[in-house]
A and B are shown apart, each in its own frame.
Chain A
Amino acid sequence: DAGITQSPRHKVTETGTPVTLRCHQTENHRYMYWYRQDPGHGLRLIHYSYGVKDTDKGEVSDGYSVSRSKTEDFLLTLESATSSQTSVYFCAISAGQGSTYGYTFGSGTRLTVV
């Protein structure tokens, strides 16, 4: 496909447990993003990265942390999962400024916190 994969595709976890979602790209793109999708809210930006070890917060970053130690991997961690974090999580990549290169999305991870 577009050279971007997310893992796992589905996960069920218990409240209070840590969870890490992985986004892996083979495009050598500089920018990577994590969004969550919920009914009635569209896609909301959680965190993004503009290079190795360079990250910044998005609209809904509380309760989430990220890390990018290699160009190809962007990890999203829920330190202590809550039911409000039940959602579909999408990773996206961009070669450069989004207005020039556009975004490509991964297939998503469906996370259920019980």
Chain B
Amino acid sequence: GENVEQHPSTLSVQEGDSAVIKCTYSDSASNYFPWYKQELGKRPQLIIDIRSNVGEKKDQRIAVTLNKTAKHFSLHITETQPEDSAVYFCAAIGGATNKLIFGTGTLLAVQP
């Protein structure tokens, strides 16, 4: 089945800097790659997603890139703000199933 690896597990940046979180997946048939943000004590919330027919997608300060050949995808946050501090999860859905498999999460801390 699908396996998703996520790095780094923790990331500390200064306010205004950029943050990058990377994920790799194992199932070449995977076709959907969402990113979730989870604040302390809250539910995971979808922040951006990308499908396998697209290489990059942007939404204001957030962007996601996908390299299907290498089977990896990344989340880029520019001009980070303290409210970006949270745990971020990448995930993938395999082509043959409808099961969303998550990475282990990245704790992002944005220092004022």
Question: Which A residues have a C-beta under 8 Å from some C-beta of B?
Answer: 31, 33, 35, 40-45, 48, 50, 58-59, 90, 92, 94, 97-99, 102-108
Contact = CB atoms under 8 A, between A and B. Distances in A.
The 6 closest A-B pairs by CB, nearest first: A99-B32, A42-B104, A105-B43, A43-B102, A42-B102, A42-B105
Contact of B102 (A44, A99, A104, A108): A44
Interface of B: 1, 6, 9, 31-32, 34, 42-46, 49, 51, 89, 93, 98-105
29 contacts: A33-B99, A40-B9, A40-B104, A41-B104, A42-B103, A42-B105, A43-B89, A44-B102, A45-B100, A45-B101, A48-B99, A90-B43, A90-B44, A92-B100, A98-B93, A98-B99, A99-B31, A99-B32, A99-B51, A102-B34, A102-B46, A102-B49, A103-B34, A103-B46, A103-B100, A105-B43, A105-B45, A107-B42, A107-B43
